[in-house]
Structure 1
Amino acid sequence: MRKLRIDMPDCARPLAAPTAASANDRAAASLAPHAERGPFRPEVWRNARQRSTVRLAAYYFRAADVLAVVGLAVVALWSLGSLDVKTLTVGAVLPLATGVLVALALLRSLGLYRFGAEPTPLLHLVGVVGIVALAIGAALLVGLGLDGHGLGPVLPWGLAATVCLVALHGLWRVLAARWRRQGLLSPNIVIVGATRNAEALIRRALERRDLNVLGVFDDRLARSPDRLAGVPVLGGANALLTHRMLPYVDRIVLAIDADAGARVRDLTRRLETLPNPLTVLFDSDASREAALNRLAGPSLAEIGSAPDADRRAFVKRVQDVVIGALALVAFAPVMAVIALAVRLDSPGPVFFRQRRHGFNQETIVVWKFRSMRHCDADATASRQVVADDDRVTRIGRFIRASSLDELPQLFNVLRGEMSLVGPRPHAIGMRTGETESALLVAEYAHRHRIKPGMTGWAAVCGSRGPVDSEAEVRRRVELDIDYIQRQSFWLDLWIILITIPVLLGDRAAVR
């Protein structure tokens, strides 16, 4: 019989072969060409890192609005001659400044950066117009309180801001609607347990259309159907642990019957080793609906006053782009000299590229200056570098000792695959002794809950270079998880500032 398949990119195809389709499934597929793909297949496949970038779009929308509103205020003051530094007074700018602050504060506090299905686009744009009208009113009140001083630029700014914000928010709505149609704003989940509870969840999610259910996994394959409410059963729980679909999964949902306590504990213990968040779903209509609301969440990151993961991710990305771009410009002459030296020192390419794990176990290609003889390149790090390693070239010893070989990873940072600070990305299949390093520590994959970094907390705490024992692997994982739990803008800035003096003073580390 013909095998079922999920239509996705090669990198996302499952490792385990799916089960055979039934005659009814084949008949249905002949009537509906896309039926094999399941009812929740996203239009565009993006991994969790790329999808999180789209989710943070609300912050970029707000930044554009701030620039537009403030920029129009500056233009209004300048065009009326009020921006002369010699004659500029607080009273001349206070009304307009009040209008700007009121407009931006209301856009944020009234939730006009959510871009969900509600409110409708027309109501959203009416809300934008109303907010600018309130801002103009506040500016006029302040101006009247100052005996009419500073009222001149208020109305020109208000009219320009209304037109500009309506156009921008119309564009934001169009973009958000397009992403929603493509499935980019609907979380991707997989379900463990082909149970009635899971089937009810899938059917309810199909009605809501705000979740992408990519597949079902169940250890009891002999008793499991080939499909569950149209979603294919792709294998057992162990197949999920190494599945190529994992980088595309935002959350794993455990839908086991509540009375199977031992099975729930066993699956939870096994699945907690993955970097993907895990949710346990209880079998009741009320809890199921509440779980769906939590799983679907807001379509875009909510801009609120409390610090949260979305805000930290946005700040971290801005930090990476700004500092990374400045570092690339500053180190460009150094990189050119190193590239020339590598080329003259030994035959082979200037750069060495290696597949490593990124965020959520995404496979990324990391760039470095080549420090070994080309014929001895070890893409899987099956043999870690030791002191006086005969594979390392003369230039390679210097750039490895000073970590200058890592400078090309600035391109990975600007592409969004890496961050300036984070757990160092290890080569896929890297070994410690005769054992793959990832198998030595159960929490190893938790390092991938954040983007890998050019430098990191472990590196500045002395854990850099090869890891030659289980104890060294465990210490690095502990330091990486400690960083993930504590990550902040100021901690990242501190790590960046102390990286160079720490690495230059670390003569004991072998690289």
Structure 2
Amino acid sequence: MKQGSSARAAATTLDQAIDDSRRGAEIDGDSPPRRGRSVSEAVVSQSVAMFDAVAILSAGAIAMSWDRSAVDWRLEGLIVLLGTLLASHLLRLAGAHRFANLADVGSSVGRALLGWLLTLAVLFAATYVLEPVTAADGPWVMLWFSLGVVALIVSRSLLSRQMRSWSRAGRLGEVVAIVGAGSIAQRLLRHLNGTPTGPRIFGVYDDEFEHMPRRCMGHAILGSVDDLVEMARRNAIDTVIVALPPTSEHALVETLNKLSAIPVDVRLCPSEFALRLGTLEASHIGGHTFLNVIDRPLRDWRWIAKAIEDRLLAAAILLAISPALLVIAILVRLDSPGPILFRQKRHGFNNELIEMLKFRTMYHEMSDVKGEQLTRRDDPRITRIGAFLRRTSLDELPQFLNVLRGDMSIVGPRPHAPAAKAGALLYTEAVKHYDARHRVKPGITGWAQVNGWRGETNTLEQIRKRVEHDLYYIEHWSIALDLQIIARTIATGFTGRNAF
């Protein structure tokens, strides 16, 4: 099916497709729609492992403080430390940290106690071999073991309740969409359907869907790849598996280009085409191996690290600049009538619209809420105070509130108004992969801004360079890069020839 025809069909079938995708989940148990971000198995498993280590170490410290024997406390401390390290390994070997075992409280507690019991057994055996361990043996060890048992049982019980809550919210299990309904996709779905621990299949997409049955191997065929891109922005899809035949090389390239604009992992079923993609890593989903062609920029611990960085820095900065915010608010109010803050809809993460905050810099009756007309030098709409605020970028300071709300990051691609243009073209028309910059939250400052690509976009080259820098930032994100951009913004980024 041609792209234009697909776009016309999407408008009338999108809502029905969502209902079909929910009704078509019989194989996956008809799981509820997801409410909230998907739970990362890696983060949960690693967090459990860290908690176990801290709990066992703390239990040992409490037991040591209770012991009144003449044994050197440093020797006891060494035993506690070595026992904690040993327990961490034995708990892992017993499967106590495996995500699949955490939902069943019986299995989870049993595996945790097995690992902890093996730890005690090894320490007990060491008392017959190592003299220092024998010297530190005593009732405090049993107290340590008992406290460890209590910590493991309580933590697993609470975690099991939390897992059930996540399950009710539809946040457990990887949600996968399949691109392709041919023989490769049918074989893949047949295998995934027969895998009890396989992913939840959201639906199947194929550009020829209008000429196909409504279902493929029991799963609803929901539309084209364009429909999938739109659906991924409205629903929680974690991974897209491209299962197109190797003869469809052009379709593969076009599909990957479209999927690069949304924040999902993209995996490719191995084929002759995969040999042309260079060095690739692999993922294992439902017992099958897929090639990694596109990864979400921020996932697991990287997403958590970025969120912590944003919240902590935003709170600290708002506290530090609160007097300046008050002074600017008073000046804006005295300079011209109207609200102090200017609120404008801008594209945020996953292309969703957010309400971005700024100090008002234009006369209220001339404000351009839709952002259809970019500012220019000596713009008559800008107030006297507004001109100063825009030159120094102080009008952007209220966006730290957006960061605390979770709408924005401190560092990221700048959010643009939906009607913003480069010359006569909308940004999405001017740059082919423009929407790929929405795979992360927008920022107050960014790599493009500190490299001089800010201000007017009168030419296509200006917006293309800005997007090029944004995509570089997304692909190379790190906390160190964020701190570098923040430092450069403080040093040089608040003023410049393109700020007006």
* TM-score, normalised relative to structure 1: 0.75
Q: In the alignment, which residue of structure 2 is the partner of 1:250?
A: 238
Is the aligned partner of 1:378 residue 2:362? no
How far is the alpha carbon of 1:214 from its aligned partner? 3.0
The equivalences for 1:124-135 within 5 A come to 124-135=108-119
Give the whole-Å Cα distance in 2 for the aligned partners of 1:466 and 1:151: 75
Give the whole-Å Cα distance in 2 for the aligned partners of 1:220 and 1:162: 58
How far is the alpha carbon of 1:230 from its aligned partner? 5.0
Q: In the alignment, which residue of structure 2 is the partner of 1:163?
A: 150
Contact 1:254–1:281, Cα closer than 8 Å, also in 2: yes
Equivalent position SS for 1:214: strand
* Mean CA deviation greater in 345-354 or 426-435: 345-354
Contact 1:95–1:154, Cα closer than 8 Å, also in 2: no
Give the whole-Å Cα distance in 1 for the aligned partners of 2:229 and 2:305: 31
Alignment equivalent of 2:105, drawn from 121, 125, 137: 121
How far is the alpha carbon of 1:296 from its aligned partner? 10
Contact 2:25–2:31, Cα closer than 8 Å, also in 1: no
For 2:174, the aligned partner's letter is: P
How far is the alpha carbon of 1:69 from its aligned partner? 4.4
Q: In the alignment, which residue of structure 2 is the partner of 1:223?
A: 211
Going from structure 1 to structure 2, the CA distance change for 1:346 and 1:65 (only over 3 Å counts) comes to farther
Deviations 1:341-395 (A, max 9, x none): 4344333333333333333334433333333333333343222222232333333
The equivalences for 1:36-115 within 5 A come to 42-46=31-35, 50-51=37-38, 56-62=43-49, 64-65=51-52, 68-76=55-63, 90-91=74-75, 93-104=77-88, 106-107=90-91, 112-115=96-99
Deviations 1:441-490 (A, max 9, x none): 22222222333323222222222334332212221222222222222222
Higher relative contact order structure (alpha carbons within 8 Å, sequence separation ≥ 6) = 1
Output the aligned Cα RMSD: 4.2
Q: In the alignment, which residue of structure 2 is the partner of 1:318?
A: 308
Number of equivalent positions: 468
Give the whole-Å Cα distance in 2 for the aligned partners of 1:337 and 1:38: 60
For 2:34, the aligned partner's letter is: W
Q: In the alignment, which residue of structure 1 is the partner of 2:350?
A: 360
Q: In the alignment, which residue of structure 2 is the partner of 1:418?
A: 408
The equivalences for 1:174-323 within 5 A come to 174-202=161-189, 204-208=191-195, 210-243=198-231, 245=233, 248-281=236-269, 292-293=286-287, 310-323=300-313
Going from structure 1 to structure 2, the CA distance change for 1:232 and 1:127 (only over 3 Å counts) comes to closer
Deviations 1:385-426 (A, max 9, x none): 222323333333333333333333333333444333222222
Contact 2:348–2:407, Cα closer than 8 Å, also in 1: yes
Contact 1:255–1:281, Cα closer than 8 Å, also in 2: yes
Give the whole-Å Cα distance in 2 for the aligned partners of 1:338 and 1:64: 46
Give the whole-Å Cα distance in 1 for the aligned partners of 2:247 and 2:313: 53
How far is the alpha carbon of 1:119 from its aligned partner? 8.9
Give the whole-Å Cα distance in 2 for the aligned partners of 1:357 and 1:229: 37
Give the whole-Å Cα distance in 2 for the aligned partners of 1:493 and 1:201: 44
For 1:332, the aligned partner's letter is: S
Contact 2:190–2:217, Cα closer than 8 Å, also in 1: yes
Deviations 1:39-64 (A, max 9, x none): 666413346xx226787444554555
How far is the alpha carbon of 1:163 from its aligned partner? 0.7
Give the whole-Å Cα distance in 2 for the aligned partners of 1:108 and 1:368: 50
Q: In the alignment, which residue of structure 2 is the partner of 1:332?
A: 322
Give the whole-Å Cα distance in 1 for the aligned partners of 2:261 and 2:146: 56
Q: In the alignment, which residue of structure 2 is the partner of 1:369?
A: 359
For 2:179, the aligned partner's letter is: V
Deviations 1:255-276 (A, max 9, x none): 3334444443444445445554
Question: Which structure 1 segments of 5+ residues have no match?
Answer: 1-13, 83-87, 298-307
Contact 1:18–1:233, Cα closer than 8 Å, also in 2: no
Is the aligned partner of 1:486 residue 2:491? no
Equivalent position SS for 1:51: coil
For 2:83, the aligned partner's letter is: G
Equivalent position SS for 1:507: coil
Give the whole-Å Cα distance in 1 for the aligned partners of 2:366 and 2:67: 69
Give the whole-Å Cα distance in 2 for the aligned partners of 1:344 and 1:108: 64
Alignment equivalent of 2:491, drawn from 487, 495, 501: 501
Report sequence identity in percent: 31
How far is the alpha carbon of 1:437 from its aligned partner? 0.9
How far is the alpha carbon of 1:281 from its aligned partner? 3.3
How far is the alpha carbon of 1:493 from its aligned partner? 2.5
Contact 2:447–2:473, Cα closer than 8 Å, also in 1: yes
Is the aligned partner of 1:18 residue 2:13? yes
Equivalent position SS for 2:436: helix
Give the whole-Å Cα distance in 2 for the aligned partners of 1:421 and 1:367: 16
For 1:172, the aligned partner's letter is: L
Q: In the alignment, which residue of structure 2 is the partner of 1:348?
A: 338
* Mean CA deviation greater in 409-418 or 380-389: 409-418
Contact 1:194–1:228, Cα closer than 8 Å, also in 2: yes
Give the whole-Å Cα distance in 1 for the aligned partners of 2:93 and 2:451: 41
Give the whole-Å Cα distance in 2 for the aligned partners of 1:53 and 1:487: 19
Going from structure 1 to structure 2, the CA distance change for 1:105 and 1:475 (only over 3 Å counts) comes to farther
How far is the alpha carbon of 1:145 from its aligned partner? 0.9
Contact 1:66–1:104, Cα closer than 8 Å, also in 2: yes
Going from structure 1 to structure 2, the CA distance change for 1:458 and 1:139 (only over 3 Å counts) comes to farther
Going from structure 1 to structure 2, the CA distance change for 1:330 and 1:443 (only over 3 Å counts) comes to same
* TM-score, normalised relative to structure 2: 0.77
* Mean CA deviation greater in 158-167 or 327-336: 327-336
For 1:321, the aligned partner's letter is: R
* Mean CA deviation greater in 442-451 or 88-97: 88-97
Deviations 1:186-239 (A, max 9, x none): 233333333354345445444446433333333324412234445444433344
How far is the alpha carbon of 1:167 from its aligned partner? 0.9
